[in-house]
Structure 1
Amino acid sequence: MKKLAKEDINQDVFDLYDDYAHNKISRRQFVEKLSLYAIGGITVSSLLSFMTPNYIDTLLVKPDDERLDSKYITYSSPKGGGTIKGLLTKPEKTKTKLPGVIVVHENRGLNPYIEDVGRRVALDGFISLAPDALCPLGGYPGNDDDGRELQKKRDRNEMLEDFIAAFHFLSNHEHCDGNIGVVGFCFGGWIANMMAVHIPTLKASVPFYGGQPTAEEAAKIKTPLQLHYASLDTRVNEGWDAYQTVLKANNIEYAAHFYPEVNHGFHNNTTPRYDQEAATLAWDRTIAFFKEKLK
């Protein structure tokens, strides 16, 4: 069996995966359509395996990293899902209060990639909270396919309330100085945009390839935004022009970055959509933005 590399994959396969990951086609349809690209020694099973997230070999910060104090906590979300679990992480030796960052998952719950991102944030001098909006349904089930199915059963506005509640929990935490930002990916990018709509005291919002608010919602934003988009992500990008028009008209502080020739999910280093150069640049910008705004 041929060992696949990213350059072996037709862009149509990435687009198919995006449709599958965002519930536009079923797993059966995804597998059937992959058969069109099983040529030249490439099999359907090898394509499927290659596109599936690899959570074992991709962690950048181990769960037991001695530099960090990382543990699961619960908090109350009375307008959302009730009791929500999240991964709370801070630098291990820090005695002073720190600025906080909410880390918002994609459309599949608190998987190992998002937990890893929470630990990365903490290593840069923040206290991070990565909630799991699947808690009312039992939490992240251990794989993304089932996670997506579970998340489809929850109302996204109720999930938004879960992350707004996370903001208030972290704001009042003994190790947080009350200056809070948010970073979110895909579904989490929409949450990051919407938290900026609903929380005027939010200090910074960083949506990665996130869906945009309505014009009426966007006009309410007081929070500085740093937005990251993938140039090949036509599905999400089609909403950008209208969003930018509202941001400009209302003098809302924002910086938007488009990364050429990369796909939706380019920051997620567990799948072949990952682009190291774009992800590194976007993350450097994110951390610098938080260090500037969370004062």
Structure 2
Amino acid sequence: MTIRESNTTVSSTQARPIPQEAFDWYDEYAHGLIDRRTFMARLAGLTALGFTMATLTTALMPNYALAEQVSFNDEDISASYVTFDSPKGHATGRGYLVTPKGLTTKAPVVLVVHENRGLNPYIEDVARRAAKQGFIAFAPDALHPLGGYPGNDDQGRSMQSSLDKMKVEEDFIAAAHFIKNHELSTGKLGVVGFCFGGYIVNMLAAAIPDAVDAGAPFYGTPPAEEIRGNIKAPLQLHFGELDTRVNGTWPDYEKVLKANKVDYTAYVYDNVNHGFHNDSTARYSETEAELAWSRTMAFFKDQL
């Protein structure tokens, strides 16, 4: 089932005077479809409309000081970095493990998957948000083989693109098994991811269907065609209406889910961009992001 969400209020994206094409260009740049020089040259063309380059880059580039909703030293959670074995991937993986403080009974687990630039502060905060809801949350860093997230997205994006894609996927498969089998896990695994992470959610649901109990991809592309039919877990999918690149992949994916009678709900949020949940950039749309996140947490509580 696909549900179209109409805005009743003006979203944060709409309220900004940045032209839509600037967000589209940023999406192309962030996903390697154009290089930085081309992106900046296109932005420079908007200065004729009265925008300064500083205004444009400040609006489009992430500011992680804005993204912290749950402090790393919040009294309700415990957070640490742990390693796990990944024999089919890069041998060893590392991630950010967040548990409810003083957890003594078993709890369901949620794997949190980052975008195409490594484990940045926004994704760590998302893991803390999930732990605040009572889940054991684990956010792996695909960049661990290269020393981990470098502190800026441009470098992180370049580093991640240099890695062997199949080994990266195996690292996330290993991470899913690692957290599902955590000593405090009930054995129920939910997976949530954003952008590249949304793809990984779909991939995991198809590649290890007996391990994934629920998946919530945010603006993620489908898994490889040859494994789409393996999906058994219920899915809750989130899309931004203006994200034509990802949305174009949905109709064919939906046909497979329908044909295989997968329990799924897809939400399309009007007038928001790819990345609308990421509160460190101007693509963030608070109303839709909070609604999508509340739905995700309710979905996991129901399924896990």
Matched residue type, 1:256: A
Mapping of 1:216-235 within 5 angstroms? 216-235=226-245
Structure 1 residue 96 corresponds to structure 2 residue 105: yes
Supply the distance in 1 between the matched residues of 2:263 and 2:159 (Cα, whole angstroms).
Answer: 35
The 5 A counterparts of 1:11-90 are 11-90=20-99
After superposition, what is the alpha-carbon deviation per residue over 1:265-291, rounded to whole angstroms, capped at 9, x for unaligned? Answer: 000000000001110110011001100
Q: Distance in 1 between matches of 2:16 and 2:145?
A: 40
| Shift of residue 215, structure 1, vs aligned partner | 3.5
Using the TM superposition, give the Cα deviation of residue 222 of structure 1 relative to its aligned residue in structure 2, in angstroms: 1.0
CA RMSD of superposed structures (Å) = 1.4
Structure 1 position 214, deviation (Å) = 3.5
1:123 to 127, 132, 135: 132
1:1-295 correspondence runs (5 A): 6-201=15-210, 202-294=212-304
Secondary structure at the residue paired with 2:162? coil
Query: Quick check: 1:72–1:88 contact (8 Å CA) kept in 2?
Result: yes
Counterparts in 2 of 1:234 and 1:93: CA distance versus 1, 3 Å = same
Q: CA deviation at 1:84?
A: 1.1
Higher relative contact order (CA 8 A, sep 6+): 2
Deviation at 1:17, TM superposition (A): 0.5
Q: Following the alignment from structure 1 to structure 2, what is the Cα–Cα distance between the partners of residues 21 and 6?
A: 22
Asked if the contact 1:262/1:273 (under 8 Å) is kept, the reply is yes
Cα deviation digits, residues 113-156 of structure 1 (max 9, x gap) = 00000000000010000000011111100000000000011122
SS in 2 for 1:117: helix
Task: Determine the structure 1 residue equivalent to 2:8.
Answer: none
Q: Does the CA contact (< 8 Å) of 1:215 and 1:246 recur in 2?
A: no
Task: Go from structure 1 to structure 2 and tell me whether the alpha carbon gap of 1:171 and 1:187 turns closer, same or farther (over 3 Å shift).
Answer: same
**1:12 is matched by which residue type in structure 2?**
E
Shift of 1:240: 0.6
CA distance in 1, matches of 2:67, 2:88: 35
- 122-131 vs 90-99, which moves further: 90-99
Distance 1:115 1:180 in 2: 18
Output the CA distance in 1 between the equivalents of 2:180 and 2:198: 21
In the alignment, what sits opposite 2:7?
none
CA contact (8 A) 1:103 1:128 kept: yes
Q: CA deviation at 1:158?
A: 1.5
Q: Aligned partners of 1:136 and 1:142: how far apart in 2?
A: 15
SS in 1 for 2:174: helix
Q: Distance in 2 between matches of 1:54 and 1:215?
A: 36
Q: What's the CA shift for 1:188?
A: 0.4
Separation of aligned partners in 1, 2:151 and 2:267: 32
Residue 157 of structure 1 and its aligned partner are, at CA, apart by 2.2
Distance 2:135 2:49 in 1: 48
Runs of 4+ in 1 over 6 A off after TM superposition: none
Paired residues of 1:6 and 1:272 also in contact (CA < 8 A) = no
- Hey, what's the Cα distance between the residues in 2 that align with 1:11 and 1:25? 17
**Greater alpha carbon shift after TM alignment, 122-131 vs 6-15:** 6-15
How many angstroms does 1:49 deviate by?
Answer: 2.0
Conserved in 2, the CA contact under 8 Å of 1:88 and 1:130?
Answer: yes
Query: Whole-Å Cα distance in 2 between the matches of residues 223 and 168 of structure 1?
Result: 15
Residue 199 (structure 1) shift: 1.5
Post-superposition Cα deviations, 1:85-109, rounded to whole Å, max 9, x if no partner, equal: 1000011022111100000000000
Q: Distance in 2 between matches of 1:172 and 1:185?
A: 23
- Identical aligned pairs, as a percentage? 53
Q: Number of paired residues?
A: 291
* CA distance in 2: counterparts of 1:247 and 1:58, whole angstroms: 34
In 2: Cα distance, 1:139 partner to 1:94 partner: 28
Cα distance in 2, alignment partners of residues 262 and 54 from structure 1: 19
- The separation in 2 between residues aligned to 1:8 and 1:36, in whole angstroms, is 15
State how far apart, in whole Å, the 2-side matches of 1:41 and 1:237 are: 32
Task: Specify the code of the residue in structure 2 equivalent to 1:247.
Answer: L
Q: Scaled by the length of structure 2, what TM-score is found?
A: 0.93
